[in-house]
């Protein structure tokens, strides 16, 4: 690999609080190492279309506290084709960009891996997704903020639930993973949590609810991940209501508010660490890896591993919800 002089950075897939902090770290660490930094706007599609701008230190001032991503994000159907990736490689060559940092999830890393295989372009990844479902890192950028947002919302819902002795089913994000739901459930003292990884037993759920919820004297909270196999919060609430018409049931879907807002200090620091480490890895001739954090240490995880392997929920935390719901 020749000496790297120009480094590109893009954000891909769903946005996550802290992405701007990672962009800032990539840009400034590149400059610190004597390289030029280039922002690629609109993810892989923006790369194909050549929507690229050189970024200097001042261009990333005052963004560390902002949610979203200044580079915008998009999903690209064209990049999934060999022809699209060839166009992307040509655009990188035209701009004399030697290496690329991709901030996103497993879909983004799959695209990066193919770009490396087909065109031998050095690419490293930074895990940016609120779902925290990437193998090889204890936490992804945006996860901590998303959980904090969910907890704050559920705390407010608990106030109104208590005032009316209502049972609330609160749906949080997590199409394929229950990490947000599980941690939110523990932090808010929920009666139960329903996640995609565990088959929902309606009878079991009813028994948990009955222990803590009395429609005449108390309120209750059930946290539901959007990818829960029975169909989500509305579906579960309807089934419970049919069996227990005496329950005063409400549903609240938190939705995309979990992606927004100013990132937590944890996400800002994590994003800064991983952004700097990504540039350091490229300068050290590394490629086809994701930068992660395990036991508070920066780690290099091959794209192959993080794409192929599944990150599992902590069974001890699942058990803790049951223990504390008595």
Q: List all residues 6 or more positions away from 166 whose beta carbon is below 8 Å from its beta carbon.
A: 160, 219, 220, 248, 249, 250
Tell me which DSSP letter residue 297 carries.
Answer: E
Say which residue the tokens 């992660």 belong to. Answer: 292
Q: How far is CA 184 from CA 131, 133, 166, in A?
A: 12, 15, 19
Partners of 9 in beta bridges: 39, 101
Choosing from 131, 133, 144, 267, the catalytic residue is 131
Helix (H) or strand (E) holding 293: strand 289-294
Token pair of 58 as six digits: 């001042």
Q: How far is CA 218 from CA 54, 163, 234, in A?
A: 58, 9, 21
Examine the residue annotation and report whether 201 is marked as an active-site residue of this protein.
no
Q: Which of 145, 99, 93, 147 is nearest to 122 (CA)?
A: 99
Backbone angles phi, psi at 224, to 5 degrees: -125, 125
Q: Is the dihedral of CA 139, 128, 277, 268 positive or negative?
A: negative
For residue 99, give the 3-state DSSP assignment: strand
Contact 271, 144 (CB under 8 A): no
Backbone angles phi, psi at 306, to 5 degrees: -70, -25
Partners of 115 in beta bridges: none
Q: What radius of gyration, in Å, describes the C-alpha atoms of the chain?
A: 22
Active site residues: 131
């Amino acid at each position: 690999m020749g000496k790297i002089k120009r480094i590109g950075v893009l954000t891909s897939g769903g946005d996550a609080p802290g992405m701007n902090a990672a962009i800032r770290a990539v840009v400034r660490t590149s400059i610190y190492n004597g390289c030029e930094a280039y922002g690629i706007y609109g993810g892989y599609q923006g790369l194909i279309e050549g929507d690229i701008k050189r970024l200097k230190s001042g261009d990333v001032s005052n963004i560390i506290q902002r949610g979203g991503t200044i580079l915008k994000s998009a999903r690209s159907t064209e990049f999934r084709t060999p022809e699209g990736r060839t166009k992307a490689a040509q655009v990188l060559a035209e701009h004399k960009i030697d290496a690329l940092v991709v901030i996103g999830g497993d879909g983004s890393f799959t695209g990066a891996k193919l770009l490396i295989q087909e065109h031998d372009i050095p690419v490293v990844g930074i895990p940016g997704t609120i779902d925290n479902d990437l193998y090889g890192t204890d936490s992804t950028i945006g996860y901590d903020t998303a959980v904090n947002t969910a907890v704050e919302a559920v705390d407010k819902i608990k106030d109104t639930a208590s005032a009316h002795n209502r049972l609330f089913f609160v749906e949080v994000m997590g199409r394929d993973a229950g990490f947000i739901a599980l941690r939110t459930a523990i932090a808010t003292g929920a009666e139960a949590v329903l996640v995609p990884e565990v088959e929902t037993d309606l009878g079991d759920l009813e028994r948990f609810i009955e222990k803590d919820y009395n429609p005449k004297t108390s309120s209750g909270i059930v946290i539901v991940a959007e990818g829960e196999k029975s169909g989500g919060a509305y579906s579960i609430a309807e089934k419970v209501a049919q069996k227990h018409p005496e329950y005063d049931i409400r549903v609240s879907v938190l939705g995309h508010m979990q992606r927004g807002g100013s990132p937590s200090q944890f996400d800002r620091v994590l994003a800064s660490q991983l952004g700097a480490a990504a540039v350091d890895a490229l300068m050290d001739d590394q490629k086809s890896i994701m930068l992660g954090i395990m036991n508070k240490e920066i780690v290099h995880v091959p794209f192959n591993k993080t794409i192929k392997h599944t990150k599992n929920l902590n069974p001890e935390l699942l058990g803790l919800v049951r223990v504390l719901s008595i």
